[in-house]
Structure 1
Amino acid sequence: MKPLDALIRQYVKPVVKGENANIAKRTVRVSASSGDRAFIEFTQHFVDPDKTVFDVTLHIAPVSYWEWLNRQHADAGLAPDGRGALASRAVMPPKGVAWDPDPEGFFPSRWAFLDEGIDACGELLAQELERSVFPLARHLLNRSALLEEMKNPSAPTVLRMSPIMQEIVLIIDDYPEEQVSQLLVSAEESGTPASFVEWARRRLALRP
């Protein structure tokens, strides 16, 4: 078994089980009742002959954003995955298991361990998942919380779409129709692509 997979099996899977989440290969999935999903992905980088080097990334994929991305395949019933993330954030490693521990280094988000250091890395990773990553994932599966976080990020985060489009996909299913309609008018006036505005108006009209 590859060292990263051994680490995931020994240290990540027990945390996932305790969090009532799901894991397949190197991806953990956390689901909300709305259909929105969070993904914790482990990505290995073959950049060091001596160490296993990898990133841990939290992705948040609201189903509304996923359905916009896959609007041409609406009948396929595709479930959200990490490719449909509206927001992504690296899980930063403690200094002792960071591959590039220099704060001004190029790759501060990369975790790393020697084969004999797998236990130390695994224990720190499990602690980080329990203490920070899973609570944050569940918090951001609330769209209002995600919208606030995107407006005022508490840590570096990769965001997709323009701010006004982000807000629309996060409020379109639950906020008062008048509020969404007014925002769509503003989006249209500010040059938001017509295809997005049309899609959003159709979605709004079909709300229960």
Structure 2
Amino acid sequence: MNVSVRFILSQYGGKVITKEELEKICKRFEVNIDYLIHHLISYGYVIRILRGLYYVKTIEEFKLKKALRPLEIIGLGLNRMNVKWYYGLFTALRLNALTHEYFAKIFILNDSIYRSKAVKIYGEDVEFIKIKPRLTEFGIVDNGEIRYSDVEKTLLDFFYLSRYNPKLRFTAKNVVEEYWDRINKGKINEYLKYYPKSLRKVLENEGLL
């Protein structure tokens, strides 16, 4: 383990580091930035979250060849970026203990990041869905690195997003029908204030309000 790597693990272990911070370290230790990043990733010292953003393993994690769960690592990265975000849709169903079914993707709803295709983070397919900032400010269970929509917001998001994503429409209807009896109607009415008025009409037409 060279001096620059030892420094990074000692100062940033268990945290997220940016490319800009790595560049400063490279100047200090006179190391090429591209070489250092390649070295850190290939030897398993860091995990790439997004472009220019990396999770640094602790020395213990590196020795034991393990790290935090993907959801925690991704959450650390998004918090570092100051993005308004939460795990939603199928990921939120699992985090709310509504289902134990495994879904192939992790869904992140946020106000800043959009990707046309799922991206690979720590071996997981992650889909970023960009929404209006006001839709990130309510109905969130916040456990620090793991933020996710509560049951009511999750179901409303299914209906809301299915209007713009044809592939989600059939699934959304089935999901909402399966879990609607578990919702708090008071919360639903409160949350609907943040969505377009047309969403309330959709729910009324479906006989859900």
TM-score (norm 2): 0.29
Q: Compare CA radii of gyration and give the structure with the larger one.
A: 2
More relative contact order in 1 or in 2 (CA 8 Å, sep 6+)?
Answer: 1
TM-score (norm 1): 0.30
